[in-house]
Amino acid sequence: MRLALREVTRCYPELTALDGVDLAVGDGESVALTGPSGSGKSTILHLAGGMDRPDRGGVEIDGEELTARRLDAHRRGTGFVFQRFHLLPALTALDNVLAPVLPRRVDFDRRERGMEMLAAVGLAERARALPSELSGGQRQRVAIARALVGRPRLLLADEPTGNLDSVTGRGIVDLLMNLREQFEMTMLLATHDAEVAASCDRIVRLQDGRIVADDVVAPAADALDRLGGYRP
Ligand SMILES: Nc1ncnc2c1ncn2[C@@H]1O[C@H](COP(=O)(O)OP(=O)(O)OP(=O)(O)O)[C@@H](O)[C@H]1O
């Protein structure tokens, strides 16, 4: 899915959260949003997912304006991963994964799809576990399976490693990158962590609601080796 924010401004009574932001994300691309707290990262994610609307400017999906009429379908085609996993404590891992598709008419077997997604995040064995019986990293994996259950083409992640230690966080980022490739998703990820940001194809830096840098991440040396690339 191609995504573009065109001259997007989002204002609150006391401040301008985004100020004329232009951002184009290519199909299958992963873009990290970085910048200080309050710089507008989450606001971009909410606008990209159709959970919020710009005051000026527009959001385009595959070159088409995201109009009010298209919002519901767009939200259904978008997966969201949060810093605090937001699992329902009384539900098993599998039922948490299925929660987004329970109220919807779907053309697949829900349990089968839920188990497939738990397997994709390496937790098929823990389908019956309650969130309280899982580690932080495992809870985030369940939350990722839940985000993927509707097979979104766009994955939005807001500080997905913010509540995890660095080793567990690294595992979550690697998993997100692998799943993005496997399920051919476009991805926007907000993070304060430079190492997490460097896992993406591009790093966009925000400050006071404006984009102040937009850099392509150099491929890792081992990736260059695999491609037979030059390394000094
Ligand atoms: N509903 C709201 N009402 C008023 N102000 C808001 C609202 N939502 C966000 N803001 C403000 O908009 C600005 C941008 O917020 P946003 O959450 O996008 O920043 P962020 O870069 O994601 O920050 P963090 O890294 O702390 O998550 C902040 O100053 C925030 O206080």
ipTM for the complex shown: 0.95
Nearest residue (CA) to ligand 1, atom 2: 12
CA 232/CA 217 separation, integer angstroms:
18
**HSE of 118 in the Cβ direction (CA atoms, 13 Å)?**
22
- Where does the pLDDT of residue 219 fall: very low under 50, low under 70, confident under 90, or very high at 90 and above? confident
CA 2/CA 57 separation, integer angstroms:
17
On the question of pLDDT at 227 being above 60, the answer is yes
Q: Is the distance from CB of 119 to CB of 198 less than 8 angstroms?
A: no
- Give the Å distance between the CA of 12 and the centre of ligand 1: 9
- Give the Å distance between the CA of 207 and the centre of ligand 1: 12
Task: Report domain 1-67+188-232's class.
Answer: alpha beta
Mean local confidence (pLDDT), 141-157: 96
pTM of the model: 0.92
| pLDDT value, residue 132 | 97
Q: Please spell the DSSP secondary structure of 56-106, one letter per residue.
A: EEEEEETTEE--GGGHHHHHHTEEEE-SS----TTS-HHHHHHGGGTTS--
- Residue 220, classed as helix, strand or coil, is coil
Q: Is the distance from CB of 205 to CB of 213 less than 8 angstroms?
A: yes
Please indicate whether residue 34, judged by its CB atom, sits closer than 6 Å to ligand 1: no
Could you tell me the residue ranges of all domains in the chain? 1-67+188-232
Strand pairing partners for 21?
A: 8
- Give the Å distance between the CA of 183 and the centre of ligand 1: 30
| pLDDT value, residue 68 | 94
On the question of pLDDT at 232 being above 60, the answer is no
CA 19/CA 181 separation, integer angstroms:
32
Sequence-distant (6+) residues with CB within 8 A of 167 are none
